[in-house]
């Protein structure tokens, strides 16, 4: 418990750094929200008026402090483009991104683990080579391409799954309908991590298989599946670390995948916010994603110490 | 629908997987054109990345205006860009003797969808909201967006219950164009919800009303049965934000939507073969390269002409863009009554282009830099188009370096002009809605920043004179004649390097009926229905 | 009838083009209650021989021939799943280093319980009780509190005791000990050895005890077999081997042991043992043997009885005993 507390304390400077980076990035970025907002032929005083409304006429350090003091209270202001509280936008977006991210993480973790185990236990055989090829494909095939191929095959040709969106008309609460919509985007998003995770599982497993205790387990007369359980528990540690980082990536929201599938998540929200230079949304979005990563790291730490007793728990 | 899916599957799954294109098998449905019918649900895959806000000036560009603003609200008068004439809207008639004081006779019997009566006081309420800084419901966020349309207004008042009078700073025969851009909301709703929250509860006089909002995913609209122009035929209208062209294409082909805005141009032949309705129509738009005429090489008209003549704009429209555009000779599109029929057209001619370039002192060619947007509203398909131009210009020795920026940055650069961050560029690829408004000629080619956007360093006293005359003209026909002349001057001076006019590509399911293809960016959905 | 009867056991591994002959026609017998020590340098094949007795060397790349008759049953023909129910139940193994032979991420209690429940139909609770008993039996204080500990939380001696507890969990008839004390301190070594001996007294199991260290083996074994390059080169009672080593290799081994003390690593013998994939044609020790004669390179010598219970495989033994002039210092 104290360790958890310490980890959170340690995270505070990191988070503070993230706020600085988020703020700086947005203000270094060329382009202005006013240009996106006010028609080109608007008069100078109208421009000045709008700049004033959004507080963009104050010196940058003042803007930062104002933003930070509001942010710690959970108030991220209003979206310039949409005139909606940023909190409301981000809450919806992160929820949708989590649905997609968790589905993609589930897909990539399960598939990656199964493939990695198959490859690791059949080292050098055709199945191992197949998994290696697939893993390579995972990191080299663009998500966009894979997404389009799946949409053409499963949505257009076969008509099995919807091609975009989160729900069919009038089916907002229907979980099955949501699942049908999440399948293709989750696979497209989770395909890259499948390669990473399966290779990690394979490598880790091969290292574990070489260890003495595996022979000792056979000498005890344990059956194959019992031994496999030992192997997996031992191979899990590096895999979980990688998975945690991949999960962070998945939960950050993918601009590409969300755009292709018109999935109303964080990536898409940030993408359009960047296009419009919607400063409050971009800042809060970056902060949110940074925080997610920090949290994910803490979670990975704790999962690791739960899985590997050799890591001190104090 | 199901039938062709099966059929095409059996013939070429492998091919499709590789080519990304749905390969047809020679099955094409015919489109039954019937005039009678009603009902159905129209689901539009729109290009915006988010649902626009629903106040009287929706965001998400003109796409927000087209599918949300114009469906919820009405303006006083409605424009016909091809003829630059105006139809009555919430004003049944209007007049101005001196082009300075304008009187609008409001349409009687119209109600906002919450029952609030449409009259002069509700009109004044709306104008106060965007013009009167002392008004309780003054809303600077929306006022700023409309400033370009309202900057000439000095005062307004209700003459009687159904008459509105607007007074301008000076004579402005272009003012009706501006009026078409101002939409009217229910004062009761604004008072009830307040300015900020109003956008979540919009109430207008328009053909549709909001039934349900699924944030960032779907806007469900239902018809206004009492619409003053007659109730829309549809049972339901659904808007979905789909910012990626391929997404809209896939959604249409998998029957998730039955109306797709701008699919990828390379899919047009397949879409046609499938029996979908491919709708194109000219409207006020030009995709051009805006030259810096204050420095070489574009300060020489011969170079500008060589540049234009080197681009095979017909090949670009027909082959590269599969008919989604038409070649441009100048900034004004040919269907408009402002189109200068007698102005010189600079046809594709490589030999002449080479000669011109040599004559201008560049026998060995010239290297230029052009900034361009990566995407964005109205920018069509900048990447393939710029590559095409690059190849074509290389043939006469103009070597172009295209530098890609995101749309927002391009807007900022454009505003700053060629003396700002773009100082090292010789041009900027930019789309203009030229001819949407009567004032476009003045804003784009006469007025410099900040009143206008003539950043080219273009000056022609004859043009300035013509525009001044047109602006003061009390006779619409005479005004348009002068403006056409003006557009002719711009075209022959090659103040813009014209490339193509967009054709507002959209694809509809064969079941979508009754669409009267609009001559504008906007679209009237009241006549549309979807057959079972 | 002997508990274990091994006849002409040969094990070879395919490695690409080559074939390594790790075990080369070994025969041996073991009675219940009896302890056989097998000594030899690393790479002599003693470990492979031990693992082969449990079927742990089986793989597509291994060729095994010969017979292993255990308790009246032939093991070589057993299916893998049949063999696995023999392992840990009737034949158990204690490994050299408990730190690596125990699974680092499971509590020792779990590792005991899974062995118990694999071979005996006990409830989880009963198996846990049994685990506590076993830990107590191998001399671990407050055994109940140890169940939840992980191997890295224990001392080396305690870990080895845990491994022994796992090995004897199902009262095996045969215990195979693969250098079980090598990784331990000298004092702990003695404790563990006496523990094994005690357990044997109680249960009557047969033990094969593999070591490179004659000193460690001598105190607890009845008989010693000396292995070199996959063969047994000398076999006899402890007395015979220690006091009358007859094979030049055994003599060198003993000499090295004396010189280097108990923990000697046998580096004192000149030269390297032959690679198992390039065995010399005649006596495998000949290249390193200071007494080698021409005939040593001709054919490999057979194990020949030189006195009651004492066999040697050396050409020098064929004609006359040479022990007199080869006495160890």
- Please check whether the two domains, B2-30+74-205 and B286-502, share a CATH topology: no
Q: Which range, of A196-210, B24-38, B160-174, C216-230, averages the lowest pLDDT?
A: B24-38
Residue B13 is predicted with a pLDDT of 34
Residue C321 is predicted with a pLDDT of 44
Of residues C223 and C265, the one with the higher pLDDT is C223
Task: Name which of A50, A167, A269 is nearest B144 (Cβ-Cβ).
Answer: A50
Q: Please report all neighbours of B, defined by 3+ CB atom pairs within 8 A.
A: A
Residue B55 is predicted with a pLDDT of 93
Can you give the residue ranges of every domain in chain B?
Answer: 2-30+74-205, 31-53+207-281+504-532, 286-502
Average pLDDT score over residue span A254-261: 86
C-chain residues near A234 (CB < 8 A): 103-105
| Structural contact between residues A137 and A193, judged by C-beta atoms closer than 8 angstroms | no
Tell me the C-alpha distance between A39 and A244, whole Å.
Answer: 45
Whose CA is closest to A96, among A221, A204, A181? A181
pLDDT per position as a tens digit, B300-319: 999 999 999 999 999 999 99
Cβ neighbours around A134 below 10 Å, total: 18
Of residues A247 and A96, the one with the higher pLDDT is A96
| Structural contact between residues B254 and A275, judged by C-beta atoms closer than 8 angstroms | no
Highest mean pLDDT among A39-43, A247-251, C99-103: C99-103
Strands (E), chain C: 4-15, 18-30, 35-39, 62-70, 73-74, 91-94, 174-178, 206-211, 223-228, 231-237, 304-307, 310-312
| Structural contact between residues B418 and B455, judged by C-beta atoms closer than 8 angstroms | yes
CATH of B31-53+207-281+504-532, one of 3.20.20.70, 3.40.50.300, 3.30.70.20, 3.40.190.10: 3.40.190.10
Q: Does C166 touch chain A (CB under 8 A)?
A: yes
Tell me the C-alpha distance between C308 and A24, whole Å.
Answer: 92
Residue B155 is predicted with a pLDDT of 96
Residue B368 is predicted with a pLDDT of 96
Q: Which of residues 137-176 of A touch B (CB under 8 A)?
A: 145, 148-149, 151-153, 155-159, 162-169, 172
pLDDT over 70 (residue C100): yes
Give the 3-state secondary structure of residue C11.
strand
Of residues B362 and A167, the one with the higher pLDDT is B362
pLDDT per position as a tens digit, B136-172: 999 988 888 888 889 899 999 999 999 999 999 999 9
Who contacts C39 (Cβ-Cβ below 8 Å, separation ≥6)? C46, C210, C211, C212, C213, C214, C217, C224, C225, C226, C227, C253
A-chain residues near C101 (CB < 8 A): 212-213, 215-216
**From A266, which residue of chain B is nearest by alpha-carbon distance?**
B216
B-chain residues near A152 (CB < 8 A): 16-17, 20, 22, 250
DSSP symbols for C232-264: EEEEEEHHHHHH---SHHHHHHHHHHHHH-TT-
Average pLDDT score over residue span A173-198: 89
Q: Does A223 touch chain C (CB under 8 A)?
A: yes
What is the fold, at CATH topology level, of the domain defined by B2-30+74-205?
A: Dipeptide-binding Protein; domain 1 (3.90.76)
Q: Does A313 touch chain C (CB under 8 A)?
A: no
Whose CA is closest to B93, among B164, B167, B182, B14? B164
Tell me the C-alpha distance between C101 and C86, whole Å.
Answer: 19
Report the share of chain A in percent with pLDDT over 70. Answer: 96
Q: Do A and C touch, counting CB pairs below 8 Å (3 needed)? A: yes
| Structural contact between residues C67 and C6, judged by C-beta atoms closer than 8 angstroms | yes
CATH classification (class only), B286-502: alpha beta
| Structural contact between residues A82 and B58, judged by C-beta atoms closer than 8 angstroms | no
Residue B302 is predicted with a pLDDT of 96
Residue B9 is predicted with a pLDDT of 33
Residue A53 is predicted with a pLDDT of 80
Tell me the C-alpha distance between C1 and C66, whole Å.
Answer: 19
Residue A40 is predicted with a pLDDT of 65
Average pLDDT score over residue span A279-301: 87
Residue B28 is predicted with a pLDDT of 37
**From A212, which residue of chain C is nearest by alpha-carbon distance?**
C101
pLDDT per position as a tens digit, C186-217: 788 888 888 888 888 988 899 999 988 787 78
**Lookup: tokens for B382:** 């900048």
Whose CA is closest to C96, among C198, C11, C213? C213
A-chain residues near C115 (CB < 8 A): 220-222
Average pLDDT score over residue span B27-52: 73
Average pLDDT score over residue span A270-286: 87
pLDDT per position as a tens digit, C137-181: 888 888 899 889 988 888 888 888 898 888 888 888 999 988 888
Q: Does A222 touch chain C (CB under 8 A)?
A: yes
Instruction: Calculate ∠ Cα B222-B228-B233, nearest 5°.
Output: 40
DSSP symbols for B380-434: --HHHHHHHHHHHHHTTTEEEEEEEE-HHHHHHHHHHGGGTTTTT-SEEEEEE-T
pLDDT tier for residue B480 given thresholds of 50, 70 and 90 = very high
| Structural contact between residues B38 and A195, judged by C-beta atoms closer than 8 angstroms | no
DSSP H/E element including A100? helix A86-121
Average pLDDT score over residue span B39-51: 90
Whose CA is closest to A79, among A18, A49, A36, A30? A36
DSSP H/E element including B55? none
Task: Name which of C85, C89, C102 is nearest A213 (Cβ-Cβ).
Answer: C102
Residue A41 is predicted with a pLDDT of 64
Who contacts B381 (Cβ-Cβ below 8 Å, separation ≥6)? B265, B321
pLDDT over 60 (residue B238): yes
Whose CA is closest to B75, among B492, B522, B529? B522
């Amino acid at each position: 418990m104290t360790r958890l507390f310490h980890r959170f304390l340690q995270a505070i400077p990191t988070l503070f750094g993230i706020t600085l980076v988020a703020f700086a990035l947005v203000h270094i970025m060329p382009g202005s929200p006013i240009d996106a907002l006010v028609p080109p032929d608007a008069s100078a005083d109208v421009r000045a008026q709008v700049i004033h409304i959004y507080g963009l006429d104050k010196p940058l350090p003042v803007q930062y402090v104002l933003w930070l003091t509001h942010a710690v209270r959970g108030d991220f202001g209003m979206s310039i483009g949409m005139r909606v509280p940023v909190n409301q936008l981000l809450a919806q977006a992160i929820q949708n991104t989590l649905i997609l991210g968790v589905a993609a993480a589930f897909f990539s973790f399960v598939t990656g683990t199964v493939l990695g185990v198959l490859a690791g236990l059949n080292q050098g055989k055709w199945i191992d080579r197949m998994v290696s090829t697939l893993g390579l494909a995972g990191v080299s095939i663009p998500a966009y391409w894979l997404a389009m191929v799946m949409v053409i095959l499963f949505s257009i040709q076969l008509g099995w799954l919807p091609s975009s969106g989160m729900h069919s008309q009038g089916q907002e609460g229907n979980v099955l309908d949501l699942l049908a919509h999440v399948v293709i985007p989750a696979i497209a998003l989770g395909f890259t991590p499948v390669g990473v995770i399966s290779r990690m599982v394979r490598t880790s497993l091969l290292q574990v298989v070489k260890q003495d205790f595996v022979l000792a387990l056979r000498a005890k007369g344990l059956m194959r599946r019992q031994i496999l359980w030992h192997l997996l528990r031992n191979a899990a540690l590096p895999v979980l670390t990688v998975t945690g980082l991949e999960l962070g990536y998945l939960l950050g929201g993918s601009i590409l995948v969300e755009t292709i599938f018109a999935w109303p998540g964080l990536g898409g929200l940030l993408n359009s916010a960047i296009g419009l230079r919607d400063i409050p949304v971009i800042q809060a979005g970056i902060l949110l994603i940074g925080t997610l990563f920090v949290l994910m790291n803490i979670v990975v730490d704790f999962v690791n110490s739960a899985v590997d007793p050799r890591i001190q728990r104090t | 629908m199901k039938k062709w899916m099966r059929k095409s599957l059996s013939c070429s799954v492998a091919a499709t997987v590789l080519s990304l294109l749905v390969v047809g098998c020679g099955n094409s449905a015919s489109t039954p054109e019937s005039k009678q019918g009603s009902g159905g649900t129209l689901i539009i895959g729109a290009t915006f990345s988010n649902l626009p806000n629903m106040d009287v000036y929706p965001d998400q560009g003109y796409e927000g205006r087209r599918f949300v603003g114009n469906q919820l609200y009405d303006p006083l008068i409605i424009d016909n860009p091809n003829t630059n004439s105006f139809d009555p809207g919430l004003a049944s008639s209007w007049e101005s003797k001196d082009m300075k004081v304008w009187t609008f006779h409001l349409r009687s019997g119209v109600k906002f969808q919450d029952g609030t009566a449409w009259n002069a006081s509700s009109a004044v309420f709306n104008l106060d909201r965007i013009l009167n800084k002392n008004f309780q419901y003054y809303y600077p966020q929306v006022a700023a967006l409309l400033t370009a349309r309202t900057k000439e207004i000095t005062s307004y008042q209700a003459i009687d219950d159904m008459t509105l009078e607007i007074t301008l700073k000076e004579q402005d025969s272009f003012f009706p164009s501006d009026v078409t851009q101002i939409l009217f909301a229910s004062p009761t709703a604004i008072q009830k919800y307040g300015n900020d929250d109003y956008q979540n509860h919009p109430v207008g006089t328009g053909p549709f009303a909001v039934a349900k909002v699924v944030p960032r995913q779907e806007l469900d609209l239902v018809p206004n049965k009492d619409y003053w122009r007659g109730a829309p035929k549809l049972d339901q209208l659904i808007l979905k934000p789909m910012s990626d062209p391929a997404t809209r294409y896939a959604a249409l082909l998998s029957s998730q939507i039955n109306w797709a805005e701008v699919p990828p141009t390379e899919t047009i032949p397949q879409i046609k073969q499938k029996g979908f309705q491919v709708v194109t129509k000219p409207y006020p738009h030009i995709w051009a390269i805006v030259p810096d005429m204050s420095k070489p090489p574009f300060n020489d008209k011969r170079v500008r002409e060589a540049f234009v003549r080197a681009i095979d704009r017909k090949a670009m429209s027909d082959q590269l863009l599969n008919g989604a555009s038409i070649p441009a000779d100048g900034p004004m599109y040919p269907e408009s009554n402002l189109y200068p029929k007698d102005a010189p057209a600079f046809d594709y001619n490589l030999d002449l282009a080479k000669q011109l370039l040599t004559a201008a002192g560049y026998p060995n060619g010239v290297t230029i830099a052009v900034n361009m947007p990566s995407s964005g509203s109205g920018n069509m398909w900048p990447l393939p188009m710029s590559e095409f131009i690059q190849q074509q210009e290389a043939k006469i020795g103009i070597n172009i370096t295209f530098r890609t920026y995101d749309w927002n940055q391009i807007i900022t650069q454009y505003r700053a002009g060629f003396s700002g961050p773009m100082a090292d560029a010789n041009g900027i690829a930019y789309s203009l809605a030229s001819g949407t408004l009567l004032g476009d000629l003045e804003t784009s080619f006469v007025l410099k920043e900040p009143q206008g956007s003539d950043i080219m360093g273009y000056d022609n006293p004859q043009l300035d004179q013509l525009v001044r005359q047109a602006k003061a003209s009390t006779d619409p026909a005479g005004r348009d004649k002068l403006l056409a002349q003006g557009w002719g001057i711009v075209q022959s001076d090659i103040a813009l390097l014209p490339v193509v006019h967009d054709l507002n590509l959209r694809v509809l399911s064969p079941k979508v009926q009754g669409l009267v293809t609009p001559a504008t960016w906007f679209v009237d959905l009241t006549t549309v229905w979807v057959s079972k | 009838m002997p508990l274990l009867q091994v006849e002409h056991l040969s094990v070879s591994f395919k490695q690409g083009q080559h074939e390594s002959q790790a075990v080369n026609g070994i025969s041996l017998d073991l009675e219940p209650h009896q302890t056989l020590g097998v000594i030899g340098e690393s790479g002599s094949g003693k470990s492979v021989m031990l693992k082969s007795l449990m079927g742990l060397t089986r793989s597509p790349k291994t060729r095994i021939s010969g017979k292993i008759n255990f308790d009246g049953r032939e093991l070589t023909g057993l299916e893998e799943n049949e063999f696995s129910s023999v392992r840990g139940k009737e034949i158990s193994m204690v490994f050299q280093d408990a730190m690596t032979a125990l699974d680092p991420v499971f509590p020792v209690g779990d590792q005991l319980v899974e062995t118990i429940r694999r071979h005996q139909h006990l409830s989880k609770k009963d198996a846990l009780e049994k685990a506590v008993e076993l830990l107590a039996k191998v001399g671990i204080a407050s055994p109940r509190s140890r169940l939840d500990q992980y191997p890295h939380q224990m001392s080396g001696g305690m870990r080895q005791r845990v491994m022994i507890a796992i090995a004897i969990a199902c009262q095996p008839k045969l215990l195979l000990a693969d250098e079980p004390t090598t990784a331990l301190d000298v004092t702990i070594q003695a404790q563990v050895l006496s523990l094994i001996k005690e357990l044997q007294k109680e249960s009557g199991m047969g033990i094969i005890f593999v070591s490179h260290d004659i000193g460690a083996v001598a105190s607890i074994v009845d008989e010693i077999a000396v292995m070199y390059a996959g063969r047994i080169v000398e076999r006899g009672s402890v007395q015979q081997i220690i006091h009358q080593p007859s094979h030049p290799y055994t003599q060198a081994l003993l000499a090295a042991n004396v010189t280097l003390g108990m923990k000697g690593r046998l580096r004192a013998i000149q030269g390297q043992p032959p690679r198992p994939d390039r065995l010399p044609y005649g006596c495998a020790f000949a290249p390193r043997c200071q007494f080698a004669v021409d005939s040593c390179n001709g054919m490999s010598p057979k194990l020949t009885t030189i006195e009651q219970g004492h066999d040697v495989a050396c050409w020098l033994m064929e004609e006359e005993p040479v022990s007199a002039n080869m006495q160890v210092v």
